[in-house]
């Protein structure tokens, strides 16, 4: 899907969800979840293209595959956290949304520690 189609889908979904806001507000949440999943499904093709390009760059650069795995995990955590946090905010549960975001940030920090350690060791090797 193109960006224009995604924009139209999003606006149409919001307008549809607004129709249920006064009566059955839970339907608006369900609509936002379905829209989010549809948009994510349309992203999968673009994500696979990005993965192919990054794998090609990796083969030329010769970087460790563990770093790329970590990068993809971080990307997945970020998207999942944003998606679930936005749903919680839409439902009116800002505190839970904040906790999801904090958990995601700490998880990303933990995942990035080995990469940071390798970077610092490389810098130390240049200085010695």
pLDDT score for 87: 85
Matching residue, tokens 């093709």: 45
Per-residue pLDDT tens digits for 8-60: 988 988 888 888 877 777 788 888 888 888 888 888 878 888 888 877 887 77
Q: What is the pLDDT of residue 104?
A: 95
Quote the CA–CA distance of 22 and 27 in Å, as a whole number: 11
Model pLDDT, residue 113: 92
* Residue 53 half-sphere exposure toward CB, CA atoms < 13 A: 6
Whether this prediction's pTM lies above 0.95 is answered by: no
Q: Within a 13 Å sphere around the CA of 62, how many CA atoms are in the beta-carbon half?
A: 0
Dihedral pair phi/psi, residue 93, rounded to 5°: -110, 70
């Amino acid at each position: 899907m193109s960006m224009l189609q995604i924009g139209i889908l999003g606006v149409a979904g919001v307008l549809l969800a607004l129709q249920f806001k006064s009566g059955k507000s839970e339907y608006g949440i369900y609509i936002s979840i379905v829209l989010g999943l549809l948009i994510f499904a349309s992203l999968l093709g673009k994500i696979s293209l990005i993965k192919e390009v990054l794998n090609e760059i990796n083969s030329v650069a010769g970087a460790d595959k563990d770093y790329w795995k970590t990068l993809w995990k971080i990307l997945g955590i970020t998207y999942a956290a944003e998606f679930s946090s936005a749903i919680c905010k839409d439902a009116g549960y800002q505190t839970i949304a904040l906790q999801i975001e904090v958990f995601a940030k700490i998880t990303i920090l933990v995942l990035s520690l080995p990469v940071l350690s390798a970077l610092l060791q490389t810098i130390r090797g240049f200085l010695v």
